Amino acid sequence: MPSKINWPDAIQPLLKKYKGKKHPLDYENVYQLMVMVVLSAQDSDKHINQLAPKLFESFPDMKALSKSTPETLFPFIGKVRNFANKTKWLVEMAEKIKDNKNIPLTLEGLTALKGIGRKSANVILREAGKPAEGVMVDLHVVRVAPRLGIASGTDANKIEKQIMEILPQKEWDAGMAMSFLGREICRPQPKCEICLMNTVCAFYNQIRKPT
């Protein structure tokens, strides 16, 4: 394996494979996406997809959510992990935004809201079709990026910074692409033999491949 990978070139097959692929959260608009992203932290997308329809039936938009209280939200999201904090964040966020049209669609505007960190903000911007202002790093990317060799360590913010330095801004969707790869192929027990990135992957080439 070449010791120095040209990542802007090497990442292209991955970007191409997952280009435009919708996030696994089953949302219908930016308001729903925003609420579901907050709820899905440390919980599963599948779980949030299951409870979302009833939640949005009662709170169809930001205006409706801005009139909610932790008590009125509890029956819908009481089974979500860390629901007490998430309920507080959603109520506070809705009171501040008040209307769907006021949803901020910049990294700075989104991360100023409680309950939305860089990862969540990057997901929202991507799904809303806005230019990337960062690289989405979730638990899958924390596993995949060091295996590939495009980043190192286990700190999501540091991994994001490394990828942003290595790839030009137009390739920053690589974060979401790595997340999809992590969900499908590069799982805790990876399926290296069928991975489209195995020719450049440090893990596969150094550890798995027979010499």
Domains in the chain, CATH or no CATH each: 7-20+135-208 (1.10.1670.10), 30-127 (1.10.340.30)
C-alpha pair distances (Å), 163 with each of 53, 90, 147, 171, 193: 36, 30, 13, 10, 25
Q: Whose CA is closest to 24, among 56, 46, 47, 41?
A: 46
Q: Whose CA is closest to 183, among 144, 155, 150, 156?
A: 144
Instruction: Provide the token pair at 4.
Output: 């120095």
**Residue 139 burial (CB count, 10 A):** 13
What DSSP character marks residue 186?
Answer: S
Instruction: Provide the token pair at 94.
Output: 């809705």
Predicted confidence (pLDDT) per residue in 176-191, tens digit: 999 999 999 999 999 9
Contact of 90 with 73, CB cutoff 8 Å: yes
Predicted confidence (pLDDT) per residue in 52-89, tens digit: 999 999 999 999 999 999 999 999 999 999 999 999 99
Predicted confidence (pLDDT) per residue in 4-54, tens digit: 899 999 999 999 999 999 999 999 999 999 999 999 999 999 999 999 999
